[in-house]
Structures are given as structure tokens and as C-alpha cells.
Amino acid sequence: MTLTASALILGFESSCDETGVAVVRCGSAGVPRLLGQALHSQIQMHQAYGGVVPELASRDHVRRAIPLAREALRAAGVGLKDVDAVAYTQGPGLAGALLVGAGVATALAAALDRPTLAVHHLEGHLLSPFLSADPPQFPFVALLVSGGHTQLMRVDGVGAYEMLGETIDDAAGEAFDKSAKLLGLGYPGGPALARLAEEGRPDAYGLPRPLLHQPNLDFSFAGLKTAVMTTLQKMGADPSDAARADLAASAQAAIVDVLVQKSIKAMKATGLNRLVVAGGVSANRMLRAQLDAAAARRQWRVHYPELALCTDNGAMIALAAAMRWQAGLVQPSRAYSFEVRPRWELAEA
């Protein structure tokens, strides 16, 4: 099937605890446009367990996928017959959750006699700022901070990714979540810790900045989690609210400091003047403020996804499928067989 300038892509995201469906129209200028989307978060369901329960997540995706597809199509003002291809997240993520989205998307495509496109979840995040009011231009440095991934890469175009550095143990998102759990905060931990941090002093505790002064661009946050645990133990059995807020603020400051300083190093190493920040942690207010300040001093540009598109969503999956298709990197398939890849490096996409 040949891509037309106005092709419609219906995208499904189901890699973890959000079910997202969106409709994107390919653009003749090369940047697809979001027409409509629908999203359901499972946060409330998983809160009782303190984290994502994979089996419950998969079952909820089964319940939500088709109603959300109808909602996204209504929002876009189009019908199923108008869809030219159906995209889905192939990985990485929870195997059962991925199977639901892939199965629904493939079955729907077969019923419509339309091709399918499999998408890498992290590429969806990486390209999501192209749906913002201030989309980037290639080339740029990307700071990808999503779930268990923290990566810096040079991006010269769709599919042209050079890894500059990545986490060697815990990712930034995991550092947020694990620190929040130690402080007795709810799920999801990252936003809860950021809210508590607003009440504390970021310089209250001298927490470590792992690998900050190393010449490479890799990350390590496991030691920070241990430092938070040790500091909390020294507070005794019943730390005050002020002490907990100070520790939350200090933990957030340490994470953000590492992300910002490593990003500055990456920009210097590449000589580029454009930074893209994507993934769930890109919504963090302190991170955005410090990166914006660093960029203003050095005269580079920073681009972020819209806040509603920082977490997992169908829009980024439909977008990535459209951009890869337009770039000639993938061919849509009518085989209607599929596999999911719970572990999948972006370099292999």
C-alpha cells in the first residue's frame, strides 16, 4: 500500500498501565497532525497494590481498547472506513499488555482489510514533541526519561539514533518511584514525590549525584536510592512532615541535577543547539525549569511534549508509525500475524 499525503493512522498503546488510542493524519509537509485521541489511565486500579499488577493491567486493556477506539474516531470526526493503516506498540513493555493492543489492532486491521504497523514504544516518546505547538527540527540531542529508561542520544532523523549514554542500573523514573516508596508515598511515586518536594528544601540533605563528574554520558541512580533509604533510617521511626518534605526535595534535586548536567555535556560533545526531552519524567516542573534556564544561558532551544503527551498515549504511537512510514523505513503489512517484544532496544527498531 502506498502512503498518501493525507493518510489516516489509527494507533493503539497498551504497553503498561495506560490504554491509549489516537488518530493521526499524515502531512504533506512531513509532520503528521493529531486529529483525536482517547486515553484511560489505570492508576486508581493499581494504587491499592502500590504498583502495576500485570494481569490486572492486561484485563483492563481488553475492556478499554474498543470503546476508546470509538471515542478517538469520534473526536477525530472520521469513521473506521476512513482509516488507512492501524499501528500498535510492539514493545518494550509488559508482555500480556502488549499482546492485548497488538491483538486488537491486528484483528481490526484484518476486518477492515488495512495494513498494520508495529511501533517501538520509546520511539513514540522520542518523537512525541513533534505533536507540540513548538515542534523540533533535526538534528538534535534527545534526553529520553521514560520508566526504566534514561538515555541520551543524537538524533539526525527518524530512525537515525546514536546512543551517547544510558543508565547502567536504575533509571531516573525508577529513582523517583523507589524514593517515593521509601517515603511512604502513593502510586505513581514520581508525581507524588514531586508534589511533596515543593514543600521542602532541595539543599537539606547532601545526596549523591552518581557519575556526575565522570567524563562519559552514562547514568546511575541505584546509589541515590540507597542514600535516601539510609537518610530516612537516620530520621528514626516517625520522621516529621518537614523532614520528609526536605528529603523528597533533596532527592528530586539530585535526580534533576544529574539529568541537566549530563544533557549540557551531551550538547557540548555534539555541538548541536537543540535538545528534545521526552518520556514521563519530562513533565517534571523542576527539570523543565532548570533545562530552560541552562538553554537560555547557552542559546539553545529545548523542546518538550505537551504535558498531556508526556505519559504513555496512543498519539505518539500513531505519530511514530506515520513518520517511519513517510521516511520509508517500514512497509505496512497485511500478514495479520504479530509478535510482541517485551525487551527491545531502540537501536534494533
Q: Are 229 and 183 in contact (CB under 8 A)?
A: no
Q: How confident is the model at residue 186 (pLDDT cuts 50, 70, 90)?
A: confident
- The beta strand positions in the chain, using DSSP E, are 8-13, 18-25, 33-41, 85-91, 116-120, 140-146, 149-157, 160-166, 274-278, 301-303
Q: How confident is the model at residue 92 (pLDDT cuts 50, 70, 90)?
A: very high
Nearest CA to 190 among 276, 279, 290, 284? 284
Pairwise CA distance, residues 156 & 52, whole Å: 35
Q: Is 312 annotated as a binding residue?
A: yes
Q: How confident is the model at residue 29 (pLDDT cuts 50, 70, 90)?
A: low
Residue 169's CB is within 10 A of a number of other CB atoms, namely 14
Q: Is 147 annotated as a binding residue?
A: yes
Q: pLDDT of 30-72, one tens digit each? A: 689 999 999 999 999 999 898 999 999 999 999 999 999 999 9
Q: Is 238 annotated as a binding residue?
A: no
Q: Is 189 annotated as a binding residue?
A: no
Q: Report the alpha-carbon angle 216-292-206, nearest 5.
A: 60
Q: Is 146 annotated as a binding residue?
A: yes
Q: Is 30 annotated as a binding residue?
A: no
Q: Is 121 annotated as a binding residue?
A: yes
Q: What is the DSSP letter of 41?
A: E
Pairwise CA distance, residues 335 & 188, whole Å: 38
Q: Is 27 annotated as a binding residue?
A: no
Judge whether residue 11 has pLDDT over 70.
yes
* Chain centre distance of CA 198: 23
pTM: 0.96
Nearest CA to 123 among 260, 330, 321, 281? 321
Q: Is 284 annotated as a binding residue?
A: yes
Q: Which residue has the cell 516542573?
A: 285
